[in-house]
Amino acid sequence: MFVKFMETYGQNLLYFFGTFGLINFLFSFITVLLTAKYYGWTLFIQSPLLGLVLFFIFMGCQSIFLGFITEIFVKIYYETQNKPVYLIEESINQNENSFNP
């Protein structure tokens, strides 16, 4: 499972954390709509569901910012190690002199 995660999101961790953040924003929006529909706005402010909505919003923001930070760390890692991000294992049907910029 870890190997599949690293293959899919190893270079683009923002996709993983951003998706998680957007799901949290979606949960907060759904919670607001359902609470307002069934209980009304005045009860929503007095209920602990407001805390749940704020929790989902903060978790969404934190996970998106965590995705940005991990993207920066991955780029810094590859630049300081002088490693290419992608390695070409084999070139097919390409001559040495075929590159014309």
Q: What pLDDT digit, counting tens, does each position of 38-60 carry?
A: 777 777 777 778 888 899 999 99
> Which helix (H) or strand (E) covers residue 99, if one does?
none
Q: Give the pLDDT band (50/70/90) at residue 11.
A: low
Q: Name the one residue in this structure whose structure tokens are 């359902």.
A: 34
In total, the chain counts a number of residues equal to 101
Q: How far apart are CA 61 and CA 68, in angstroms?
A: 11
Per-residue pLDDT, 87 = 66
Q: Give the pLDDT band (50/70/90) at residue 35.
A: confident
- Mean pLDDT throughout 24-43? 84
Q: Give the pLDDT band (50/70/90) at residue 99.
A: low
How large a percentage of the chain has pLDDT more than 90?
22
